[in-house]
Amino acid sequence: MDGRARSYRLTRLVAAAALVAASLGLLAPPAHAEAGPKVTVMTRNLYLGGDLTPSMTATTLPAFLAANAALLSHVDLVNFPARAKLIADEIRDRKPDLVGLQEVALWRTGPIGDPAPATTVRYDYLALLMSELAVSGHPYDVAVVQNEADLEAPAGAPHDVDARLTMRDVILVRHGGRVEVTDTSSGNFMHNLVTPLPAVGGSATSTRGWTAVDVVQGSRTYRFVNTHLEAFHSGIRVLQAQELLQGPLHVTGRVILVGDLNTGPELPDPNNRLAYFTLVSGGMADSWPILHPGDPGYTSGLGDDLNEPAGDVEHRIDMVMFKGAVVPVSSEVFGNERQTPDGRWASDHLGHAAVLALP
């Protein structure tokens, strides 16, 4: 297929998907549909702490060592222990029953050049956040953790260590709350981005995946799914969306999907809209435009240093979607109200919380 044919096919697919989205009824439900118990859900990307791109694109070993050292220094700079306090405050204020977390980084170090995996914990984002939640008097339980990309490389001066990053997706459940988890599941996607590392002649795999809990709430049952789709390749992102539809979302009854989807219906590049329309054409409804018609609801773009102006967000990619007997009641985007003592936001993303009725 030549380039013009591919472009024509892509345009037709986007247009067809948009029509499907419209046909699925992105209109406010009748007020009586809000009857029944309600669940509050939240999605929050914690931000791993820096940009991996300079390391991935370094062409010489000295440049690779310097890029890895700069990344580790930047992780220190943006100070997750301080940011964890802000995120715990957000959770405390909203009291969600279920929380989907992405980029729950585990940073470890070891002797430089040691072939054994690095094991000395530098920052465990999950442990730090759980500690802050416990201190706040609003404890949560870790329902399920899924390890994603596990990357290790030497970092040069001033660190001179092997630095290891393990990415995780996590679901939290409010301790002693109204939600009873009856089962958990998780998995990695079969389709993941593999990036060559020219400096060392190898490659790195951006493994991503999903977590899920099956829930009983009163007499209602549903599945809550949390995911983080590929950020840097639209085709792989579509394949991952299809895996969700064929896997954890392929159930009878109510399903709620949250996450950093890295896709949306209004992103500037039409290719980056395709995974969104894949999910919509697979039966998932998007809660934000139902509740906030005409409001872009931007959630991403506060910069790597986490100190951009509060209004600089420019993409809506952190979403709450659903299918089955679920009715969106209210929702909000938050995360540019509080800063750390040195003036940084909790993440480069904003959080998104929604109240959903289960009629």
Domain boundaries, the chain: 37-50+75-149+167-357
Which residue type sits at 2? Answer: D
Please give the Cα distance from 90 to 97 (Å, whole number). 13
Written as one string, the DSSP assignment of 285-328 is EEHHHHHSTT-----B---TTS-S-GGG--B--EEEEEESS-EE
Q: Do 258 and 225 touch, CB atoms closer than 8 A? A: yes
- Supply the pLDDT for residue 18: 43
Q: Is the per-residue pLDDT at 24 higher than 70?
A: no
Please give the structure tokens belonging to residue 261. Answer: 């989807």
Cα–Cα distance measured from residue 359 to residue 86, given in angstroms and rounded to the nearest whole number: 34
pLDDT, one tens digit per residue, over 88-133 is 999 999 999 999 999 999 999 999 999 999 999 999 999 999 999 9
Q: Region 305-309: what's the mean pLDDT?
A: 96
CA atoms within 13 A on the CB side of 38: 15
> In the CATH scheme, what is the code of domain 37-50+75-149+167-357?
3.60.10.10
Residue 23 confidence (pLDDT) above 90: no
Residues 43-49, mean pLDDT to the nearest whole number: 98
Instruction: Output the CA angle 148-68-109, nearest 5 degrees.
Output: 65
Residue 266 CB neighbour total at 10 angstroms: 13
Are the beta carbons of 117 and 163 closer than 8 angstroms? no
Please state the rounded mean pLDDT for residues 177-200.
96
Pick the more confident residue, 212 or 139: 212
Residue 346 amino acid letter: A
**Residues with Cβ within 8 Å of residue 184, at least 6 apart in sequence:** 143, 144, 171, 211, 212, 213, 214
8 Å CB contact between 338 and 346: yes
Average pLDDT over residues 260-275: 97
Report pTM: 0.92
Q: In this predicted structure, what is the pLDDT of residue 19?
A: 41
Residue 311's contacts (CB-CB under 8 Å, 6 or more residues apart) are 336
- With pLDDT > 70 as the criterion, what percentage of the chain qualifies? 91
pLDDT at 10 over 90: no
Confidence category of residue 33, pLDDT binned at 50, 70, 90: low
C-beta separation of 204 from 195 below 8 A: yes
| DSSP labels, 224-250 | EEEEE--SS-HHHHHHHHHHHHHTTT-
Quick one: tokens of 134? Answer: 């416990």
